[in-house]
Amino acid sequence: MIKQLLQQSTTQNGRARSFAFENTVELSNLIPPTVSYESHGDTLIVGPTAIITSTAEQLLTMRSVTLLSTDGEPSDSHDLYYADSVEISGFLGTFNVQIQNHHKTN
């Protein structure tokens, strides 16, 4: 629709916009239609203890599941760690997780 409107333009700016629009590579052409990803079975679940332990029970077939509690509530899980602050960066399985924990654990 916008292309048709620009093509009908008779002003110099309108013709310039039409030319730019027609000669610009569309972003959708640069994005592949699919992305391949293969999980190696390592999973990190971050959140309140009750939610992450419940979620972990549904992922028993994963190679390893590590739980990172953000509320400090105790659990019987041996793969449970605690953090006051969590920062996660990355995408598609290539993540960097930085945590801060100011509380001592007994």
Which pLDDT does position 104 carry in this prediction? Answer: 57
Q: Tell me the C-alpha distance between 65 and 42, whole Å.
A: 6
Which pLDDT does position 48 carry in this prediction? Answer: 95
Give me 83's structure tokens.
């953090």
Position 19 pLDDT exceeds 70: yes
3-state secondary structure of 38: coil
Q: Tell me the C-alpha distance between 28 and 92, whole Å.
A: 20
Q: Looking at per-residue confidence, does 28 or 59 come out higher? A: 59
pLDDT in tens, 37-83: 777 778 899 999 999 999 998 888 888 889 999 998 988 877 899 99
Q: Answer yes or no: are the C-beta atoms of 86 and 97 closer than 8 Å.
A: yes
Which pLDDT does position 30 carry in this prediction? Answer: 62
